[in-house]
Amino acid sequence: IAPRYELFFPIQAHHLDALAKDILAQITPPPGETEQKRKLLAQLEQLCKELISSARLIPFGSLVTGFATASSDIDCIFSPIQVSNNRYVETPHVIEGPTDAEKKRLGDNPDYPLLLAQLLEKNGFQVLLLSKTRVPIIKLKRAASDSHPELNCDIGFKNSLAVHNTALLKTYSECDERVKPLVLFIKWWAKRRCINTPYLGTLCSYGYVLMILHYLINVVQPPVLPNLQDIPPPATTHARELSFSEDGGDTDYFIWFAKNLSELPRSKNTSSLGELIRGFFDYYSFKFAWGNAVISIRSKGGLKTKQEKEWTTANIKTAGGEGETENTFQVKNRYLVAIEDPFETTHNVGRTCTGKGLNTIRSEFRRAMDKIKTVSMAQEFSIGSGIY
């Protein structure tokens, strides 16, 4: 049943479309910022090589997906071994490890996080080493200067799976040109409404991206995106593209997804950005069953139930993931907001959301919908409207 405001929708969508484009023009990182981030990464990688010559810093997150806004940090993983790149993903593929001399100098089990933190500090970076997180993280900052803005970078020491889900997100973004502006707009909205702070009980950017993908794959009709994980791999696919297991880990993750976009049919959906924004807010305001549903973009239909996944009772198992680095080692796995990671299916990307966080998120969705329905939308969705 069409909601009652559907009647006014064409005008609203048109208006929303224009406003969204205006906002996007203002929040897109200034030209050169991505290059500056890449340059800093290359400079940091050079320093890592002083520690061990085969070291690499492998970027993931918004720098790679293109979903970065001006304030986005750089996410990367330190790998003491040389890896090869392929066209889609910087797939970890061992080529080279420490030399014999380096093995002698560093010993059997080098404390790379500590050694690297010390080296970076010596080279003038502001460094914070967080060792109580599931995997250690170095947070470093380079102060702004005349030639560049302040840059923040997180260096992780494990979680290569992030490289694969980053590649999945990037490929989805390449499938349709509406994905990136929609993501940037929703990220901007979520940050502005303070519902994008995982360590304070709300959802990380990655969670919002998965919510958007579910909407574009499974909800909007005709779909804007195909389900890339539901397309069978060609018989010739290399084993490295099918499954992956973390160094020393005993779990094999099925990481295949379709990458050959020229073989996929174009979407028949002709909605404007404004229509998609409205549809997204509408779905999560009135249709999505928050209490019962799990978003699972890898599955047909895009949804599972919490019962089916046994995601019903909070537990304290392990901390994990980027975006909650302020937390200590043990983190509660909550299932109030349930968003299954597309590869690590036991991982709830929404686990950081508390009851209060969920209520705030839901009321923000409804608030946005209210604004869209009324003329005050113009005020709400324009930069500098002073709503804080």
Closest CA to 339 of 221, 220, 203: 203
Number of H helices, E strands in the chain: 13, 13
Long-range Cβ pairs for the range 43-49 (8 Å, 24+): 44/76, 44/120, 44/140, 44/153, 44/155, 47/116, 47/119, 47/120, 47/123, 48/78, 48/116
Amino acid letter, 203 = L
Binders of ligand GTP in range 215-244 (CB under 6 A)? none
Q: How far is the CB of 154 from ligand GTP (least distance, A)?
A: 8
Helix axes 161-175, 205-214, angle to 10 degrees: 40
Cβ neighbours, 10 Å, residue 272: 17
According to the binding rule CB under 6 A, does residue 189 interact with ligand GTP? Answer: no
Q: How far is the CB of 158 from Mg ion (least distance, A)?
A: 16
Specify the residue for token string 């696919």: 237
Cβ neighbours, 10 Å, residue 172: 27
Using Cβ positions, the residue closest to ligand GTP within the complex turns out to be 323
According to the binding rule CB under 6 A, does residue 74 interact with ligand GTP? Answer: no
Which residue among 73, 90, 275, 340 contacts ligand GTP (CB under 6 A)?
73
Please spell the DSSP secondary structure of 265-277, one letter per residue.
PPP-----HHHHH
Closest CA to 22 of 283, 277, 282, 281: 277
Separation between Cα atoms, residue 294 and residue 306, nearest integer Å: 6
Specify the residue for token string 């995106």: 225
According to the binding rule CB under 6 A, does residue 76 interact with ligand GTP? Answer: no
- Judged by CB under 6 A, the stretch of 67-75, 99-107, 120-128, 230-238 that binds ligand GTP is 67-75
Which residue among 9, 19, 57, 67 contacts ligand GTP (CB under 6 A)?
67
According to the binding rule CB under 6 A, does residue 340 interact with ligand GTP? Answer: no
Binders of ligand GTP in range 296-335 (CB under 6 A)? 321-323
Separation between Cα atoms, residue 122 and residue 50, nearest integer Å: 12
Nearer residue to ligand GTP within complex by CB, 172 or 365 = 172
Q: How far is the CB of 145 from ligand GTP (least distance, A)?
A: 22
Cβ neighbours, 10 Å, residue 316: 9
Which residue among 186, 277, 349, 358 contacts ligand GTP (CB under 6 A)?
349
According to the binding rule CB under 6 A, does residue 182 interact with ligand GTP? Answer: no
Cβ neighbours, 10 Å, residue 15: 16
- State the SS3 of 15-66: HHHHHHHHHHHHHCCCCCHHHHHHHHHHHHHHHHHHHCCCCEEEEECHHHHC
Angle (nearest 5°) at CA 223 between 220 and 228: 125
According to the binding rule CB under 6 A, does residue 206 interact with ligand GTP? Answer: yes
According to the binding rule CB under 6 A, does residue 133 interact with ligand GTP? Answer: no
Say if CB 350 and CB 338 are below 8 A apart.
yes
Which residue among 17, 75, 275, 364 contacts Mg ion (CB under 5 A)?
75
Which residue among 20, 140, 204, 372 contacts ligand GTP (CB under 6 A)?
204
The 26-65 contact track toward Mg ion, x by CB under 5 A, reads -----------------------------------xx---
According to the binding rule CB under 6 A, does residue 284 interact with ligand GTP? Answer: no
- List helix spans (H) across the chain: 9-27, 33-51, 62-65, 100-106, 112-122, 161-175, 179-192, 205-214, 239-242, 273-282, 306-309, 355-373, 377-380
Q: How far is the CB of 96 from Mg ion (least distance, A)?
A: 28
Q: How far is the CB of 375 from ligand GTP (least distance, A)?
A: 31
166 binds, among ligand GTP, Mg ion, none (CB under 5 to 8 A by kind): ligand GTP
Binders of ligand GTP in range 157-176 (CB under 6 A)? 162, 165-166, 169
Binders of Mg ion in range 210-269 (CB under 5 A)? none
Beta bridge partners of 303: 295
Nearer residue to ligand GTP within complex by CB, 8 or 199 = 199
Q: How far is the CB of 319 from ligand GTP (least distance, A)?
A: 10
350 binds, among Mg ion, ligand GTP, none (CB under 5 to 8 A by kind): none
253 binds, among Mg ion, ligand GTP, none (CB under 5 to 8 A by kind): none
Q: In the complex, which residues of this chain contact Mg ion (CB under 5 A)?
A: 61-62, 75
Q: In the complex, which residues of this chain contact ligand GTP (CB under 6 A)?
A: 60-62, 65, 67-69, 72-73, 75, 162, 165-166, 169, 204-206, 321-323, 341, 349
